Amino acid sequence: MKKNLGFGMVAGIALAFGLSNSFAADACTDAMGHSGNGTSVTKNQTGSISDSPWGYELWADGGSNSMTYYPNGTFSAEWSNSNDFLARVGYRYGDNGEGVDHKTKHYTVDYKYTKNGHGSYGYIGVYGWTVNPEVEYYIVDDWYSQPNENYIGAKFGEITVDGETYTIHAFLRQQEPSKSGTSTFLQIFSVRKTPRQCGHIDISAHFNKWDELFTGQKATLKGSKGGGSTTLKFGRVTEVMLMNEAGGNSSGTVDYTYFNMSDNGQGSVVQEPDPITRAPFGGSAIAIPGTIEAENFDNGNEGDSYGGTNTPADAEYDAEYRGSDYSVAIVDGGTGKAVGYTAAGEWLEYTVNVAQAGEYNIQASVSNGSGAGSIKLSIDGTEIGSLPFTGTSNDWNTYETTTGSATLQAGEHVLRITIEDANTNVDYVSFSSVGSTALSDRIHLNVSSANYAVFDLQGRSLGHVKVPAGANISEILSAQFKNAGVYMVKQGSRLQKIRVSH
C-alpha cells in the first residue's frame, strides 16, 4: 500500500543524544519529549534531520496531512480523509542505491506514542524497503484495524522476542506504487499478537528470522490483484524507520514522544520453542483402511508436523486438547472435535500405515460457512487428490461429505491435509478399500440439534429423526426404528449411510 518516494541519502553518522545503545532505558516510563525546534511538512517529502543520523518521510494519497519532526527523532502527525498516510523517521540509505546488508548492523528502536483515529487498515511499528529483491516490510506493534490475511497474507511462521510472539506473513502487491515506480513486489509482515504503545523492538531479530524463513523458494501468495507466484527472499535494506500508517478514508493523530533508534543496538533474547519429538499422536501410526481424525495430527513443532496457522486472537476454541505448544485451533463440531479457524495454505500431517496396496475410496467431513472450497491430500510429498465441497452461508455447524479416490502403496507413510480455502473446518478423512461398503455410525453431530430424513436402501421414506446436539445418530435410529441394519439419512442435500446394530 505504499510509496513512490523521492530524494536524499542520509549520512550514517553516529551521534550521541545522551542515550545508550543498550536498551536498559525504559521508553514506557522514561521521559524524553520533543526537543528543539520542530519542522513541519505538509506535502509528500523526504529529507534528513539536521545533526542526526536519521531521515524523515511524509507520504499520503489524498486528504489533508501534516508531520512535524524534531532533532531528537520524535515526531507528530495528523491526517484527515486520507486513502493512505505514512509518517516515519529513521535510517535512510537512498531509495535507488545498493542498500545495506542488514547482517553488518544490529538495528533496534525504543519508542513511546499516543494515537487517535480510525482506518480500514493501519500499522504502527517499523517499516522499510529492500532492494535485490524489492521488498516492502513491516514490524507491526499496533494498528488502527487489526491486520488480517486479506491485507497481509498467510502465516509462514512466528518469532517470540521482546516479550511477545509475532506471526510472520507474506503478501504480493501486484502492479502497485513502489520505490521503483509501479511494480509487483513482496511484502513481509511480523505482527505482534497483542498491541502496545511503547517498548523496545529488536529489529534485526526479525530480519534474521525472515532470512531463515524466506530462502529464495517459490510460493503462491494472496495478492492485491488476485495473488500469484513469487520468490520469497529478504533483500538489502534501503531504509529502517519507525512509522505510522493508516488508510481507507482514514483520519487521526499520532505523537511519538520517545524515540531512540540504533544501528549498533543490543540484541534481545529470541525465545525458541521447546523441541517436540515428531511422533504419531497417541503413539502409533493411523491404520488405513480407517479414519483419520483431523485434530489428531502428529506431535511436533510448527513447521514440522503442521504449519500455516493464523488463528484469530479472539477465536474461541479448545486450547487444552493439544496444549499450549500448538497453534492449531481445535473446535467442537462434526463427530466431536474438528480443526477450525483455518487459513488458506494451513497444513497438518499424520503418520499412517497402509495395510495393503491398492485403490481406496476417500471420504472427508468438512464445513465452511464462507462457501465453496477444497482440501488437498498428499502422501510423502506427492499429491493424491483434491476434494471439493459446496460449503454454506454462515453455517459452520453443518458438515458435508466430500469424496474421492486414490491408489496407495502399502507401508508407513506421511499423509498431509492442506487447507485450500480459509475458514474450512475439517472433521475427519477416512479411507476404505474399493469394493468395500463405507458405512458410518459417526454422522455429523452438529453443535446445534438437527432433523434428518430417514430412508431404507431402496430409497423408501421411513420418517424423520431429531438428533440433539452431541448425540450419536446411530443410537437415535436404533431407539426409533428398533431394527438393526443400514439406513440412509439426509439433511438438506447431504446423504449418508448409517449402520445400526443392537
Q: What's 104's DSSP letter?
A: G
- DSSP codes of every residue in 267-313: PPPEEPPPP---B-GGGSPEEESEEEEGGGPPB--BTTTEE-----T
Give bridge partners of residue 192 from the DSSP assignment: 166
For residue 2, which amino acid is it?
Answer: K
Exposure pattern of 420-446 as b/e (b: 16+ CB <10 Å)? Answer: bbbbbbbbbbbbbeeeeebebbbbbbb
The phi, psi pair for 411, rounded to 5°, reads 115, -175
The C-alpha atoms of residue 409 and residue 413 are separated, in whole angstroms, by 9
Judge whether 136 counts as a catalytic residue.
Answer: yes
Mapped onto helix, strand or coil, the DSSP state of residue 473 is helix
The catalytic residue among 57, 176, 245, 302 is 245
The phi, psi pair for 233, rounded to 5°, reads -160, 135
Q: Are the CB atoms for 339 and 398 separated by under 8 Å?
A: no
The C-alpha atoms of residue 449 and residue 39 are separated, in whole angstroms, by 65
The phi, psi pair for 315, rounded to 5°, reads -70, 140
Which parts of 169-231 fold into alpha helices (H)? 203-213
Judge whether 245 counts as a catalytic residue.
Answer: yes
Mapped onto helix, strand or coil, the DSSP state of residue 489 is strand
Residue 86 buriedness (CB in 10 A; 0-12 / 13-18 / 19+):
buried
- 440: Cβ contacts below 8 Å, ≥ 6 apart: 430, 496, 497, 498, 499
Beta pairing, strands 135-145 & 228-233 = unpaired
For residue 24, which amino acid is it?
Answer: A
The catalytic residue among 57, 136, 176, 346 is 136
The CB density around residue 295, as the number of other CB atoms within 10 Å, is 23
For residue 209, which amino acid is it?
Answer: K
The C-alpha atoms of residue 441 and residue 183 are separated, in whole angstroms, by 55
Q: Which residues are catalytic?
A: 136, 245
